Amino acid sequence: MLKIGEFSKLAHVSIRMLRHYDEIGLLHPKKIDDESGYRYYEAHQLEQLERILMLKELTFSLKEIKRILTEGPEDFKRELIEKSKEIQTEIEKDQQRLEMIERRILQIDLPREYCIEVKTVPAFFGVSLRGTIPTFYHEGSMWETFHALLAKQEIQISPQVPNNATIFHDQKYEEGSIDIEVVYAIEHLISVQQPLQVREFPELPLVGSIQVEGNYHQLPEAYHAFASWLENHPEYEMSTTTRQVSFVGPEETEDPEDYFTEIQIPLKSVVDPHTTSGIIL
């Protein structure tokens, strides 16, 4: 057997930590001398200690480690697979954070300019799906559900461009429950089953239109530009629901930098019609 000092050196773990593991029941010495109090370990316990250190490095709690040490190989494998999935999710989140930092640095170095155009958007008929999502980043999942329902009901959508829109119905931002509707324009009225619906989307006589080229991550910057524009145009106020229309999106290109999106923000005029003769841009 190995004295605690020898075991400590071979394992690269301090004697203090070995005693701590003994106290909390993670790794007991194989023998404690009754007279001297010396602690002795067997060589095979190095493998058990290595497993403890690995699990600790993988951020398992001490309580979880104690449970895992009593499990068989298959259960241990399952624990590692689950932890691998958790780590992969964290890596993806960290990658998103890095991209966010890079985009913000680029915005500082190369600020974009957005042109806001006031125009009229005609009425159209469309097939749609309405629901709630936890964040704006979950819009894609709503479209996936929409496409699955269209396929299940064997509904074919004309490939005309633009033929789609996302409508945000909330009059104010609701934390964790965003009311959106995804829409495809249709040329002829069709029959659908719930939760799909077919309805007329009314004309929007006054719309602030912003065209955004590139990744969807630029959309918040475009909304900021609109906010500044609205401050400088007191003759308008925001009205009803906002739409986003995709001219070029994931279905047309694999490169997000090639996306082309139009934001449509309905407006209402607060200027007395008898005191103005036209739209001021």
Q: pLDDT (tens digit, 0 to 9) for every residue of the chain, 281 residues total?
A: 889 999 999 999 999 999 999 998 999 999 998 888 899 999 999 999 999 999 999 999 988 999 998 888 899 899 999 999 999 999 988 887 887 788 778 767 766 788 899 999 999 999 999 999 988 888 889 999 999 999 999 998 876 656 899 999 987 776 778 999 999 999 888 999 999 999 999 999 999 999 998 888 888 889 999 999 999 999 999 987 899 999 888 888 888 888 999 999 999 998 654 444 344 44
**Dist CA 268 CA 272 (whole Å):** 12
- Pairing between β-strand 236-238 and β-strand 178-185 as defined by DSSP bridges: unpaired
- Chain centroid to Cα 115, Å, comes to 28
Helical spans, DSSP H, in 27-113: 45-57, 62-69, 73-109
Q: From edge to edge, which strands make up the β-sheet containing 31-32? A: 2-3, 39-41, 31-32
The answer for 187, left when phi > 0, alpha when psi is -120 to 50, beta otherwise, is: alpha
Number of neighbours of residue 195 by Cβ within 10 angstroms: 12
**DSSP-assigned beta bridge partners for residue 242:** 168
What is the pTM for the complete model shown?
A: 0.61
Residue with tokens 């931002």: 173
pLDDT score of 280: 42
Q: What is the dihedral of CA 173, 174, 176, 179, to 10 degrees?
A: -90
Q: What are phi and psi of 180, to 5 degrees?
A: -130, 160
**Dist CA 17 CA 55 (whole Å):** 15
pLDDT score of 277: 39
Number of neighbours of residue 65 by Cβ within 10 angstroms: 21
**Dist CA 225 CA 263 (whole Å):** 12
Comparing CA positions, the residue from 43, 1, 51 lying closest to residue 21 is 51
